[in-house]
């Protein structure tokens, strides 16, 4: 219980010191902490990405996906007449 109180009071003292700093310094500390955190998360998520791409085998992936075969019917070609036959005939 004593260690908890000591840790809490140290944390409170740290926050009080941070609040007493000038605004510009607090902003710099905030952005530096944010950049470090973002870089760590980026490295954690994408650090092994090149290895994953090397290990990836597209053929096996598509076979494991087991997609159904889709037959696409052939559409007959429509013959378009010359320009004289496509004009609107007036009666």
Domain map of the chain by residue range? 22-54
CB 18 within 8 A of CB 29: yes
What pLDDT score was predicted for residue 84? 58
The mean per-residue pLDDT over the stretch 15-36 comes to 94
pTM strictly above 0.85 = no
The Cα 70–Cα 47 span in angstroms is 38
CB 35 within 8 A of CB 43: no
Assign 7 a pLDDT band (cuts: 50, 70, 90).
low
Task: Please state, for a pLDDT cut of 70, what percent of the chain lies above it.
Answer: 79
- Asked whether the predicted pLDDT for residue 23 surpasses 70, the reply is yes
pLDDT digits (tens, 9 = 90+) for 44-67: 888 877 777 777 777 777 777 777
């Amino acid at each position: 219980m004593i260690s908890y109180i000591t840790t809490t009071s140290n944390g409170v003292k740290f926050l009080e010191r941070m609040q007493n700093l000038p605004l510009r310094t607090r902003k710099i500390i905030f952005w530096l902490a944010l950049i470090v955190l973002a870089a760590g998360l980026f490295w954690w998520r994408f650090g092994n990405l090149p290895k994953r791409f090397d290990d990836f085998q597209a053929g096996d992936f598509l076979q494991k996906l087991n997609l159904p075969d889709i037959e696409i019917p052939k559409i007959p070609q429509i013959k378009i007449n010359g320009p004289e036959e496509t004009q609107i005939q007036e009666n």
